[in-house]
Structure 1
Amino acid sequence: MAPYFATVTSESTFRARFAAEERKTFSELREVSASEWGREHLFACRVVPRETQHNILPVLLPYAFPGDAHTSPEIIDFLDGPTGEHMGQSEHLLVRNCGISLGNIWAAMALLKGHRNRRRTDIKGDSGDESDSEVEESRPKRIRRNTTPENFVNSSMIQIGSSSPTGEGSQVASSVGYVDVASHTLLMPPEDGTLRLASCAIRHILYFAPPQDSSRLATVVEFRDAKTRLTACTPVLERRLVATDDGGLCLRQRSNDSFTVVKNRVALLEAKRRFQCIENGKPVISDNCLAQMTCEALVARLTDPLKEFRHGRYSTVLPATSTVMFLADNII
C-alpha cells in the first residue's frame, strides 16, 4: 500500500481513502503508546499532509543571500563537506584540525558514512579475534551496480532550503538529492548515532549562520538535548497518550545576568535509524513514523505549560542516517 504521506494530500482524498479502507474513528481505537501508532491513527486523527509551498521559511527570507558574501567561513566549510581523509580520522584529530564544532560533525558523520573500518570499529566493536580478511569473508556480498540515476544532480550544485506551511496540514522539504535504497539500508546506524549527527550539525548552524552569527544577541535559539517522557489525556474522551520527546530546539532570552527558556519547543525532534520507504531516490515518511510524530505533537500540545502551541502550529525535524526532513504542521 502506498505511504499515507504521499497519497492523502487533500481533504477529498482523505474522505475517499477513509471510506475505501473502512477506517475507524479515534474513540474506536485502543490506547497504545506513540511507538505503536500506525496508519489507522492517521485516519482517526484526520491528518492531511500538504505539498511543499516554499523553498525557504518566510521567517528566514531576510537572511537568504544570493551568494557567499555574507556567509561565515564556518558555514562555508560546513557546506563544502568533509574530505575522504576526514572520514577515516579520529574524533581527536578532527577536532584539532577542524575546530570543535565542525570536527564533531565530521566525527559523527564518519560513523554513518565513513570508511568501513571506521564504522565497524565504532559500531560493532573490535574483538581482536578476526583478521580483516576473515571479517570481509563473513560479510554478505552483493552485486556492484550503478546507483546513480540518469537525472541525478550533485548536492554541491544545488541550494538547500527549508519548507514552510501556507495552509493546514503537514509540509516537508529535504536536503537530499538522491538516496540509494540498498546503501541506505546497509549503512543503517544505531538511532543514537543519527541523533548525534543531527545535534552536532544543527548546533553548528545555530552558532554561525545568520541571524545568530553574533555574540550580542538578547534572544537565541539553542539545541535541546534532554529526552522526556510525556503523558497526557485527551480533554473529551480522556484517552491516555504517551510519547517520548527526543529533544529539539528551544528559545532563550536574556533576563538580567542569565538566559532563561521562554519557548521550550520551537521545534520537535524525532530521530530514526533510517527511512523505511524510498521512492525514486527520495525518502518518503512511513505511516508508522508519521503517526508517531502525530502522537508526539498531540501530547506536546496537551502538555504545554508555556502555551507554545495555543495556535496549533509546530515544526518537526526528522533526521534519519545522514538525511534530514523538516515538517511544519497545524493542529486544528
Structure 2
Amino acid sequence: MASITQGAARHHPSRRRPMTRPHHRAAVAAGISLLCAGLLHPALAAGRKGLSVGMTMTSAEYADRFERYPGLIDSVRVFSAGAPPAWTDSRILQLKAQGIVPFISHKTYDPNAFKAWLLAMPADLPMVYLAHCHECEADMPASTYVEHQRSYWNVVQALPASIRQRVKYGPIQTKQWTENYGRSYATYDPGIGDFWGVDAYVNTWGLVYPDASTWLSQIRAYATGGRPKWLPELGVICMPDDADDSARAAWIESVAAILEADRSFKLVLWWDTLGTPGGEVDGVGTVRNFRLSEKYTTAGGTVPVKPSKQAWRRFMRRNAP
C-alpha cells in the first residue's frame, strides 16, 4: 500500500478514456464552456481520450517532475490519512495550475462531511478523481468496506450535474494483498464506481522483473461489469543485477504495450518516489525506491539512471491529449 502526505511517502513492504458514458456529453460541454471562459487548461479540453498516463511523487518533488515531463503528466495522487484535503491545499492548486488532474484519496469515513466537501468543489477545477480508503483490505472486513464504498458512491451519484460531471469516483484494491495470497478481487469489490482500480507493485523480494503479460493476467481477466480498469499506482524498483536500468525500462515498455492494446485500461500512474521501508532483501536492503531516475545502492545512496524515465516519458507522449 502506498500513500503520500505533504512531504512523506509510505509503501507497504511488499495507473484514455476516463469519461464514462452517462456524463461524457455533459462533461465535454462543460469543458468547452470552461475553456472559453479561460478556466480550463488546454490539456484538459479534449474530453480526455484514450489512456491517461501520469505519476505520483511528493509535493517537494513536484517542480522537478513538472520540469522533467512538461505537459505530459495527466494525473497525480494526493493523499490524506484523515478527511479530504481542503480545496485550497497547495498540492491541489499546484496540480490545477499545471493542467494536471488531482487524484485525491482519503481514509476517514464520514459520508456527510464528504458530501459537504464535494458540494464546495471550486467551479474552476475542471476534474477530480476520488477514492476513499484505497488499499484497505487488511484494515476492515469486506462487508464493511463494501458498505462504505456504496455509501460514498450514493453521495457522488446524488451530486448536482455541474459537479458530478467533474468527478470520477471508484474503489482501489491491492494487487499484492490479493494475488500474493491467492485471494479474489471479487471479495472486496463493491461493484460500483466510475472505475475499478488496483494498486500494482512488483514484489521486491523476488529480485526479478516478472513476465508482464503473466503479471497483469488476473487484473486483465477480472470482470468489472463495464467499469474501466485503472492502475492508480504502478511500481517496481531497479533490481540489483539491472546495472544500467535497461531491464526495468524494457519491462515498462512491455507493460505499456499491453495497457495500450487492452482498451479496458484507461489510467495508469507510476509511483515515482520512495516507498515505506520493507523487509531486508539481498542487494536492496530495506529501502524501496521506485523512482524512475534512480537506482538504490545498499551502500546507502543512489545512482542516476536514464532508461526507465525515458521509457515512461515515451509512454506519456504517445498518450498525451
TM-score category of the 2 structures, normalised to the smaller one: under 0.3
> Which of structures 1 and 2 has the bigger CA Rg?
1
